[in-house]
A = this chain, B = another copy of it.
């Protein structure tokens, strides 16, 4: 039996039945053991930057549910943090940042790699503890999504402040995106060198952009990051998640050239399969609310996705992060149902 992780087989465009499985935000508040470890850390950022604790929470869901992949426990706002922007996470609320306005010049790329050392150390620790048949996923936020938080200071309202700045002063906004492309490429390369088997780029707010914006602020920066990572480390497959891309998935997949595209719960996998041809791999896309609801809603959702993806290289996942109110037994139900495979 091969020790090559199933996730990596599928990322090489092999169709497996059952498909490998992991879930977005699999380490987090729905797990009692996470809450315990969380208490030991000071702030949320302290947890991200303390390798032993971050590695522990990364591994917890693998121990409990035997998922096929671990994903580095961190946050997409680690990048603005190490670039010198003040970032805070209040318990039970979203993140808050001191909005950067148009003061892009004060961002400092010089100290980036030095400050990211603890995160690379987490990756190393996890890879050492993780069984060889499990994959380790590194990640970063896409430049557009990270920029929306840096400009607004928080999430919400369709990220209006960043959309306004991008339309009113595209040159200034391009400067910010360029800094984030540099930082993100460097960060992903660092994670891969430390032991990540694949990396995922999260563009959670891609969907609010109009046509020109989507080309310029979503596709172009992700393509630039993918090219830099591939130039440095040609054998590492990359996953991207352009949430809300809808019918634009076709252009997105073709133009960015990433190996796998993660699909949100709003685009049916059958349609995604038509929009994004093989060999590109697809990941997704159960509505997290079906997982929270459990029962028949959960089983039906899983079965529909497995049926739609039959014969295609597919990684089972949610279409968005697991919600904190999800009962553990529903996750167990999900794992059992997915592992039954498509029938």
Binds B, one of A67-75, A109-117, A243-251: A243-251
Interface contact A267-B289, CB-CB below 8 Å: no
Does A163 count as interface, using CB distance less than 8 angstroms? Answer: yes
- A156-189 contact mask (Cβ, 8 Å, vs B): 1 or 0: 0000100110011000000000000000000000
Instruction: Please pick, from B207, B270, B290, the residue contacting A266 in the complex, using a CB distance under 8 A.
Output: B207
How many identical chains are in the complex?
Answer: 2
Q: Does A232 contact B (CB under 8 A)?
A: no
Comparing A14-22, A191-199, A222-230, A296-304, the segment that makes contact with chain B is A296-304
B248 touches A267 (CB 8 A): yes
A90 interface hit (Cβ, 8 Å): no
Which residues of A are at the interface with B, using a C-beta cutoff of 8 A?
A: 160, 163-164, 167-168, 207-214, 244-249, 265-272, 275, 287, 289-290, 292-293, 297, 300-301, 304, 319
Q: What are 6 pairs between A and B in contact, CB < 8 Å?
A: A160-B289, A163-B287, A209-B266, A211-B304, A212-B301, A247-B247
Complex-state Cα separation, A265 to B214, whole angstroms: 11
Known: A168-B293, A248-B268. 12 other contacts (CB 8 A): A164-B292, A167-B289, A207-B244, A207-B266, A211-B268, A211-B269, A211-B270, A213-B287, A246-B248, A246-B266, A247-B247, A248-B271
- Prevailing SS type, chain A contact patch: helix
Task: Tell me whether A266 and B208 are in contact (CB under 8 A).
Answer: yes
Please give me the residue from chain B that is nearest to A265 by CB atom: B210
A319 to B212, CA, bound (A): 14
Cβ–Cβ contact A164 & B208, under 8 A: no
Chain B CB count within 10 A is highest, among A207, A211, A297, for A211
CB-CB nearest 8 A-B residue pairs: A246-B246, A210-B287, A211-B268, A167-B293, A247-B247, A167-B297, A247-B271, A210-B265
